[in-house]
Amino acid sequence: MKRLVQKLFVILILIFTLNISVVNSKSLEEIKLLPPDKIRELADTGDAEAQYWLGELIANGAIENWMDLSLYEYRKMAMEQDHPAATYRLYEQLRSGYRISDADQVFLSELVNSHLIKLANSGEARANWYLSQDLYDMVTEENRLFEGKARFHLEKAAELGLLEAIESLALDKRWSGEFTSALELYKKAYLVKPDEFTVDPEWRKCNILGDLKDFYDGSVYYYTGDEKIVFLDAVDKELYLETLKEGRKHSCLYLMTDLAWELILRYKEEDVMEAYIIASDVLSIAKGDKRLPFSASNAHIILGYAAHFFKDMDEARRQFSQLSPKHADTLFGDPFTVNEVCAAFGVSNSECRNFIFN
């Protein structure tokens, strides 16, 4: 009887402990809805999701007195409970060196690496990707021992469906002349959804579409001795145009510009009007980013051509005059249209350049 009572007591203790654990355990989505003080309370009692999310709040300055809290300590505590996202954030923090002392760098690097290896072995794509990048960084001409291992993790990350890894492998295949394999990988990469750790996913999608465009318009080539051989197997005008249209969906400026030129050169009113709309969008986006002067110049040229098509010579001159001097040669490299604009104002070809830019 005494033994039976002891067993029942142990069972009750286990049930009570389990209930406490269930009550305290919350999903990440539930934790995001809690006030910061409650999140910190959960984090300090060992909840890995709370520790991870508190790290995110600290990193983004979204909590009071965030500078007084250790960013990496909470991420480290979550990582040590096998939390993948916390591991990846701590890895990224180590790469940047943000709020980590030199003394802690060495210790943490070894610790994070050990957790990345465990995650990679369990089938985590991003862990394989990060390991591959670190190993490639260690490859030198004198020491290439790490290259094979880096390649293994890169291929594993690509096999597991990580966007960055698939794109990287596609680029590698392209430059090594394995064009058919590269093309298939680029197609796959475009269809893959980026995860929360993918940096600038729209920019990455634009790069992938740009590479696909190169295959479809015959811009991919290789050399045999001094002879340039164009890879023609993938050339496809219809797929080329579809790729440009996909680029428009992602606001890829250079693909939008190419699409506008394709439409302009059809010399049909509805196509030229669509080109005008696309170029207007390119110009608006480029003006919001001063790093894109060439996109803005291309847009001005297209808008000028469209205005010329619709016989609005004042607007054509205005658009052409917006070009910077270093981009003006692009316009006058094919002077027929701009000379027609000048002729409408009674200006000779020899005086046209001065007329447009003054």
Contact in structure between 257 and 295 (CB atoms under 8 Å): yes
Is-contact 297 323, C-beta < 8 A? yes
Once rounded to an integer, what is the mean pLDDT over residues 260-282?
A: 97
Token code pair at residue 58:
């600290």
Higher pLDDT, 257 or 227: 257
Say yes or no to pLDDT of 132 above 60.
yes
What's the pLDDT at 25? 67
Q: Which residues of 305-341 are buried (b: 16+ CB within 10 A; e: fewer)?
A: bbbbbeebbebbbebbebbeeebbeebeeeeebbbeb
Structure tokens at 171: 């680029």
Amino acid making up residue 68: D
Per-residue pLDDT at 76 exceeds 90:
yes
Residue 224: the pLDDT is: 82
| Residue at token pair 């590698």 | 172
Q: Which among 18, 77, 90, 22 is positioned nearest to 50, based on CA atoms?
A: 77
**Gyration radius from the chain CA atoms:** 29
- When mean pLDDT is compared across 130-139, 277-286, 331-340, the lowest value belongs to 331-340
Averaged over 283-291, what is the pLDDT? 82
pLDDT number for residue 24:
55
Q: How many angstroms separate the CA atoms of 109 and 93, rounded?
A: 10
- Per-chain mean pLDDT for the chain: 89
Handedness of CA 277, 281, 282, 284 (dihedral sign): positive
Does residue 20 surpass a pLDDT of 80?
A: no
In whole angstroms, give the CA distance from residue 297 to residue 111: 50
pLDDT of residue 67 exceeding 90, the answer is: no
At residue 163, φ and ψ (nearest 5 deg) are: -55, -55
Is residue 62 predicted with pLDDT exceeding 90? Answer: no
The first and second tokens of residue 46, run together, are 């060992």
Residue 13's pLDDT band (cuts 50, 70, 90) = very low
| Residue 1 pLDDT level (bands cut at 50, 70, 90) | low
> Which residue stretches of the chain are H helix?
2-24, 28-32, 36-44, 48-59, 71-79, 84-96, 102-121, 125-137, 145-159, 163-175, 179-191, 201-216, 237-249, 253-264, 269-287, 293-309, 313-321, 325-332, 336-344, 349-357
> Cα–chain-centroid distance for residue 350?
47
Mean pLDDT of the 56-85 span: 90
Burial class (CB in 10 A: 0-12, 13-18, 19+), 119: buried
d(CA 153, CA 237): 36
C-alpha 228/C-alpha 239 separation (Å) is: 24
Task: Report whether pLDDT(287) > 50.
Answer: yes
- Torsion 204-208-211-216 (CA) sign: negative
